[in-house]
Structure 1
Amino acid sequence: MSALTKAKGFKKSRSGTYLSMATTAFGAVSVLKQARKARSDNDTLRLLDAAVSAAAIATGLAILYRELKRLGDDDVLLG
């Protein structure tokens, strides 16, 4: 198996899914900062934007978690 084939399969591996979950969760830090600033400025529109972004992050994490469960023990990079 070539290195390019392994790299393409990384996204569908357990390791790739964990990495995607970590980067998605890291985006929550930015949303949290946005929400705090919106609260301190009494900016309802920015607070609503932060809430929608937080919902998108939660949905993304749920989808990645489901994908992780589907992968089970079939890790592409281990074989």
Structure 2
Amino acid sequence: MSNALSKAKGFKKSKAGTYLSIGSTALGALSVAKQAKLARQEHDTLRLVDAAVSAVAIVTGLAILYRELKRLGDDDVLLG
């Protein structure tokens, strides 16, 4: 069980794992866009603020994942 857990943690820190995280975060962005559109149609300010905060969190998350991807790419250059 411990070996499987360490493999999962290793995948999360790999390029493939990072790309997967970027993809799932992008799918979350679609959900937030739908939430914002509905909030505007219903003139629901609170939901619109929630969507805006969520969008900022997604952008921040994508920036962190991009930085991690760049770092992984730099490591590959050093190892190769």
Residue in structure 2 matched with residue 25 of structure 1 by the alignment: 26
TM-score (ref. length: structure 2)? 0.82
Pairwise CA RMSD = 1.6
Deviations 1:6-51 (A, max 9, x none): 4331111000000000001100111011000100001111101000
Larger helix percent: 2
For residues 11 and 74 of structure 2, the distance between their equivalents in structure 1, rounded to whole angstroms, comes to 15
User: What is the number of residues matched between the two proteins?
Assistant: 73
For residues 40 and 67 of structure 2, the distance between their equivalents in structure 1, rounded to whole angstroms, comes to 33
Residue in structure 1 matched with residue 14 of structure 2 by the alignment: 13
Extract unaligned runs of 5+ from structure 1: none
Extract unaligned runs of 5+ from structure 2: none
Aligned-residue sequence identity (percent) comes to 74
1:22-61 matches, within 5 Å, as 22-61=23-62
Give the structure, 1 or 2, with the largest relative contact order (CA under 8 Å, sep 6 or more).
1
For residues 35 and 68 of structure 2, the distance between their equivalents in structure 1, rounded to whole angstroms, comes to 29
TM-score (ref. length: structure 1)? 0.83
Question: Would you identify which runs of 4 or more consecutive aligned residues in structure 1 move more than 2 Å?
Answer: 3-8
Partner letter of residue 63 of structure 2?
A
For residues 73 and 66 of structure 1, the distance between their equivalents in structure 2, rounded to whole angstroms, comes to 10
